Structure formats: C-alpha cells, structure tokens
Amino acid sequence: MDLYFAAASPFVRKVMVVLHETGQLADVNVIDSVQTPLAPNPANKNPLGKIPSLTRPEGPALYDSRVICRYLADRAGADLIPPARQWEVQTLEATGDGIMDAGVLMVYEHRFRPAELQYGAYVDGQWAKIARALDALEERWISHLSGPLDLGQISVGCALGYLDFRHHDRGWRDGRDALARWFERFGARPSMQETRPV
C-alpha cells in the first residue's frame, strides 16, 4: 500500500498513529506528497488533492483520514470504534478532526493569502471554534479520553499536537488542566512520539 504523506499534516499523523498502534507500519510505503490548496500533487490518487490518501491492491484509493483509519483498524482487527461506544467515539473523533480543520485553515490564511487580503476576524473565528471544542473536551470528555484506546482519542491527541506545533502561542492549555494532563500522558505513547512533526 502507498500512503501519500506530509509530516506536518495532523490528518496524516492520525493515520500514522493508527499504523503504529495496529502494527501495520511495515505494510505501507510512505510517499512524501507535500502540496498546497494552490498546488496539489498530481501523483496523489485523491481527486480532491488532499492528503492523506492510501492506495491498496484490492480497490480504489481511499482518502479522508476517517476512512483510512477505519480501513486500517478493520484490516488489523483492531477495536478502535467499539460498538458499545461507537457514537461517543465518532463524536470525539469529529471534535478532534474539527480542531485540526480550524487549525489548518488558520495556517492557510497566513500562508497562502496575500498579506493585504488576510482577514484577522476569520482567523479569530477559527480559533473561537477550537477554544469551544477544547472547553467541551475539558468539561465533558476527560473520562472517555482516559479509557481504552480508540479513534476519538487518537484524533484529539493529534489535534492537540498540531496546536502545539502550529499555534503554541495561543496557550490552549490555559484553564484546561485536566486536558493538559491527559495530553501529557497520551503524548508519551510511542506512536505519538514516533509521529511528532518537526
């Protein structure tokens, strides 16, 4: 299988963590596929021009980290979306993915829009979404986050790692002590250490 990859992408990191946690890293050929919204990589098999995408021998390429992670979990027989908790796990995963989305859009606003066209209120609006999601994690999800490993935890862990990587000056830990403590523990997992962006 070929995984189209960029080390800085939190969505790619999510897939890489699943590969590590399910023991499938050796089954994947990682292809560096740095691209932007303005310059997609033509080799990428995702017609939307986004990463990650995963080619596989038994069918068309898979894309969107949620789809790829489910495929890899199923392939490995890993119970990363336990049926008894599936709606909670998927909601938590959507929360983590939403934080990643907003964080990436903040970066894109500064990186790809000319300075005279950048819209500060848009960036602040994206951070407001992130802040609300972080507050929800602190107030509602710590017990779940502290339970057995699932895709929701992986998504949130990668989202918080991305905030440290790209938005560390925003101080996401302020007033969220329980979430910060959880991330300190979760971030120490070998799968998280091995996939840290540099």
Q: Are 6 and 59 members of one domain?
A: yes
Amino acid identity at 158: C
Q: What is the residue-averaged pLDDT of the chain? A: 95
Q: Are residues 22 and 65 in the same domain?
A: yes
At residue 44, the pLDDT reads 77
Tally of domains within the chain: 2
Residues 139 and 92 in one domain: yes
71/123 same-domain check: no
Task: Return the residue matching tokens 């897939």.
Answer: 15
Establish if 198 belongs to a structural domain.
Answer: no
User: Which helix or strand (DSSP H or E) is residue 18 part of?
Assistant: helix 10-21
Are 59 and 129 members of one domain?
no
Whether residue 31 has pLDDT greater than 90: yes
B/e letters for 90-106, b = 16+ CB within 10 Å, e = fewer, are: bebbebbbbbbbbbbeb
Q: 72 and 88: one domain? A: no
* Tens-digit pLDDT profile for residues 83-119: 999 999 999 999 999 999 999 999 999 988 898 988 9
Q: Which residue among 28, 44, 76 closes a domain?
A: 76
CA 27/CA 183 separation, integer angstroms: 28
CA dist., res. 64 & res. 44, Å (int): 13
Mean pLDDT to the nearest integer, 144-173: 98
Residues 130 and 181 in one domain: yes
Residues 87 and 71 in one domain: no
Provide the domain limits for residue 17: 2-76
Q: Are residues 71 and 105 in the same domain?
A: no
- Boundary of a domain, candidates 76, 92, 119: 76
Q: Does 21 fall in a domain?
A: yes
Share of the chain above pLDDT 90, in %: 85
Residue 57: give its domain's CATH number: 3.40.30.10
- One domain, residues 96 and 171: yes
**Among the three residues 76, 103, 132, which one is the final residue of a domain in this structure?**
76
* Residues across the chain: 198
CATH code at position 98: 1.20.1050.10
Same domain, yes or no, for 23 and 99?
Answer: no
Give 185's strand partners.
Answer: none
| pLDDT computed for residue 174 by the predictor | 98
Statement to judge: residues 129 and 183 lie in one domain: yes
